[in-house]
């Protein structure tokens, strides 16, 4: 059987974690990623009948029973993932009871999944209802997004409008907009449930004063969503109190949407 550390999914996952750390998005043990894997791609690397140990999930994920996830560990640093994936990552299967995760590989120090894993699973449940190809949930702490959440009104419409108007690319990349939560305690089922509820309509959810959730059918797509929002937040923060004399207008955004045939949030534009 092949070494799972040589698999494309582990290599790509680890490279993305390294890149996120390099960009300054994931300080210390901040941030987490979960990646839905398919049984067929696992079989050449793992004996899927060999359960190393079991872990309680802390909520009922019955809708994901039998599904496999590659996930970052609690207390783990993104900067170390590429060097030692078996220590910092784990491959889990959701048991039929829905409340237990079966560890098939990884967490070799006896560790467990990130504390945000229940929140991830809640978002996976909702996004799979929207897209059967959905696979990735990531949570990260980009600097400009965090800074912007301190000084900008916190509503889906207003935050989306501002970000859309910082870069022509934005409405094209996420025509569905950005969901915004109020401040909430992180690492709880409550914030997970609130995030998942927003995921019914959005692929990006802002946690004010903390960070952002992004989802996608691929690692690149989820990363690219957050990357695009972060760059636009950087532009917003760089402008500061200066008067904008050459704005991207609502009509400009409508013209972009018409050109690219986008199904965008029309109620977010005047």
Rounded to whole angstroms, the Cα distance separating 70 from 76 reads 14
Q: Which uninterrupted H or E stretch holds 100?
A: strand 100-106
DSSP string covering 123-140: HHHHHHHH-TT--EEEEE
Of the listed 27, 39, 54, 116, which one is catalytic?
116
Rounded to whole angstroms, the Cα distance separating 252 from 202 reads 22
Rounded to whole angstroms, the Cα distance separating 117 from 23 reads 23
**Helix 189-198 to helix 117-130 angle, to the nearest 10 degrees?**
20
Rounded to whole angstroms, the Cα distance separating 30 from 76 reads 8
How many Å is the Cα radius of gyration of the chain?
19
Three-state DSSP class for residue 113:
strand
Residue (of 74, 79, 25, 66) closest to 214 by Cα position: 25
Cβ atoms of 225 and 204 closer than 8 Å: yes
Q: Which uninterrupted H or E stretch holds 215?
A: strand 211-216
116 in catalytic set = yes
Three-state DSSP class for residue 206:
strand
Rounded to whole angstroms, the Cα distance separating 156 from 267 reads 11
Catalytic residue ranges: 116
């Amino acid at each position: 059987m092949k070494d799972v550390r040589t698999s494309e999914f582990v290599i790509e996952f680890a490279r993305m974690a390294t890149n996120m750390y390099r960009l300054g998005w994931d300080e210390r043990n901040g941030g987490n990623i979960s990646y839905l894997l398919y049984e067929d791609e696992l079989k050449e690397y793992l004996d899927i009948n060999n359960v190393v140990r079991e872990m309680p999930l802390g909520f009922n994920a019955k809708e994901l029973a039998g599904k496999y996830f590659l996930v970052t560990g609690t207390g783990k640093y993104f900067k170390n993932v590429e060097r030692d994936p078996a220590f910092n990552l784990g491959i889990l299967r959701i048991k039929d009871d829905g409340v237990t995760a079966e560890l098939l590989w990884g967490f070799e120090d006896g560790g467990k999944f990130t504390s945000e894993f229940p929140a991830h699973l809640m978002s996976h449940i909702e996004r799979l209802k929207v897209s059967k190809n959905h696979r990735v949930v990531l949570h990260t702490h980009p600097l400009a997004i965090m800074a912007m959440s301190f000084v900008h009104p916190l509503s889906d419409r207003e935050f989306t409008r501002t970000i859309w108007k910082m870069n022509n690319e934005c409405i094209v990349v996420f025509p569905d907009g950005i969901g915004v939560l109020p401040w909430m305690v992180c690492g709880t089922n409550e914030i997970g449930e609130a995030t998942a509820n927003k995921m019914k309509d959005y692929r990006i959810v802002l946690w004010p004063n903390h960070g952002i959730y992004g989802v996608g059918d691929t690692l690149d797509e989820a990363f690219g969503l957050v990357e695009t929002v972060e760059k636009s937040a950087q532009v917003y923060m760089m402008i500061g109190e200066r008067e904008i004399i050459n704005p991207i207008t609502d009509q400009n955004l409508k013209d972009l949407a018409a050109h690219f045939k986008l199904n965008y949030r029309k109620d977010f534009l005047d």
